[in-house]
Structure 1
Amino acid sequence: MPFNSDENLKTLSKLIINETYPNSDGYKGWFEEYPMKFDKEAEENFNFDFNKEKDIIALIFLATIWNMPNYRWENSVGLVAVLHKENLLDIEKWSSQSFIESLDKNELVSKMNNLGSELLGYRGNLYIKGGKDGVFQRLNIVAREYDFLRETLQIDEILKGNVPKLDHNIFPKFDNPRLMVEVKGKNNNTIRKPVLRVKVPLILRELKCCNKIEISGEYCCVPDTKVKQMMKIIGYNPCLDYDTSSVINNSKIIYKYFGSHYDLPLFDFSDKCSKEKDKECDKRSCAVFNYCAKL
């Protein structure tokens, strides 16, 4: 049977789900799946409450930070949890460069590393990436464009208790030139890249899981670098570009095979895979060894 046949990919998906989310009927939301406390002595876990605008802002900030290249997701989760706890999610403040300059980055980092999360604790010290295209600059960009994001995501409707209907037409809106950050490209040239595009499905996924929006799950799978790498290694044949159509296409592929588990099985399974794309795999104990295109 060809490794990329539909039948084989369905078998692969079931094996990966069983390995990463056994006895689960689907993904319930990030902080439901990965509990976290604000500090090591806290009794209650942190979680989003999307009845509050503050928590929707936290979600947008999470997606923005997580979209940074070569920046571990643990840093994103840790920083957003600290900003939430310290009531530092004021859009007007983040729109101000003077507010950003007043922040004590070292203190924030210290608090990030004191979070009561075994998951984050396993990953080493957390940090905040600086620079002109760093964390704070990107948050400043989304803060300045929050009115646009509020309209695009229909946040006012969500806060009224309504469940707005969204579809694939939401994606091109995040290519708004004002939602771009300047980064260094090849040959040290400056290029502009979207601060949110690849992580738009993350925002949609979390809102959908909490029944705050109505949208097909095929637009709610996050095809970031880590997930696409697993798709390519195992045999799901993703689009390797990062343009809007590729994001949508890859999200649809993931949803076809993983359904309401979304991209999380692939995301988690990456820790179990050697990722040595140019070598034959001899890890016969791997759950997908007999079906993986990496053989």
Structure 2
Amino acid sequence: MYKTVIIGTGPGGLTAAIYLARANLNPLVIEGPEPGGQLTTTTEVENFPGFPDGIMGPELMDNMRKQAERFGAEFKSGWVNKVDFSKRPFTLTVEGMGEVQAESVIISTGASAKYLGIPGEKENVGRGVSTCATCDGFFFRNKKIIVVGGGDSAMEEANYLTRFASEVVLVNRRSELRASKIMQDRARANGKVSWGLNKTPLEVLAGERGVIGLKVTNNDTGLEEVIEADGVFIAIGHTPNTKFLGGQLTADDHGYLLVKPGTTEMNIPGVFACGDVQDSRYRQAISAAGSGCMAALDCERFLEDSHANSELILAGSGASEGN
């Protein structure tokens, strides 16, 4: 039995662990198959406050983990297969651990970027392949970049990257775009954006120093082409890691958890969510960490209130028996 269990170890989960551990609540933190989340696949992080010279993503996550451990957080590796939020204490079924019970749960399982599934793609993450323009755009000053995608996210990323790149080629496997008209119009009005429509990506090409281009099929001619570039940004969306919850918590049409406005509280008292699993808009390490702080404080207050209510009930019961 734990007072609180945190599922996930990205910036949100680790920040929640630091706060709860400092409050002497000794949280159990369950690490999934990718401890540290998406930042462990990032090379240099330059926009996290407090590091004027930047810090490597894996190092930042390792430091946050050590900080949580220092205050008494317990870490265990496992995959949460199932949760039962129908009654308290809650029950979590964890592969390799069996059943774990908790008075409260913080969900910080993040969202996974969707990839194309082509050769050279995942092997070159951090070497020119990225899924986050805000995180990595700065590293491509005066360079040619490819953005793959046809939705609003792709249009937004392309426009953002023109702040740094000399040229942004927007590649989409169809000639039509799924993006809203206003987002398309903005991209088309940007003189740095060129178009590679009706082209299907086949392979990310790389040399010793990283990405050198993208091999595509021209769907109009059926011929293979190579679009030379220094970077390839994949902008085809994210998938929140919420399937294991079995639909017990409120979520939007894409699976992102819906917290009560202004809090990290879910529809079931004692369950909280932080980080990218409930944030489809910002998806930044610092915003995830901030929501992790909020989740810890919300959780701490919930446990205090629950304890106080239990004492009142016991006190009332004792008075009745005395009469």
TM-score (norm 1): 0.24
User: Greater share of helix residues, 1 or 2?
Assistant: 1
TM-score (norm 2): 0.23
The structure with the larger Rg is: 2
User: Greater share of strand residues, 1 or 2?
Assistant: 2
